[in-house]
Amino acid sequence: MKRLILLFLSAILFSISNLNAQDSNCPCCTPEHRAFDFWIGEWEVTNPDGSEAGVNTITRIEDGCVL
C-alpha cells in the first residue's frame, strides 16, 4: 500500500513539473493570448463599393506571442 501511495504521489509531482516546464517554454500559451487568433490567415480587403483594395496576411510572430 505504501508503494502504491508513493507511486501515485510521484506521478502527481511529475505531472505538475511537466506543466511548469510547458509554461516556461510557452509564455504566451494562455487563452488570453489567443483571443484574437480568429484574425490569422489571408484576407481580401475590399472598398465599400466591393472593389478590391488589397490583400492582408496575418500571422503569429515572436514565438507566437504577437499577431
pLDDT, tens only, 14-60: 555 444 444 567 888 889 989 999 999 999 999 999 999 999 999 99
- What letter represents residue 44's amino acid? E
Domains identified in the chain, total number: 2
Q: Tell whether 40 and 24 lie within a shared domain.
A: no
Rounded to whole angstroms, the Cα distance separating 53 from 34 reads 28
Average pLDDT, the chain: 79
pTM, whole model, 2 decimals?
0.53
pLDDT on residue 14: 58
Q: Tell whether 47 and 23 lie within a shared domain.
A: no
- Domain ranges, residue 50: 36-67
* Number of CB atoms found within 10 A of residue 65's CB: 12
Q: Tell whether 20 and 1 lie within a shared domain.
A: yes
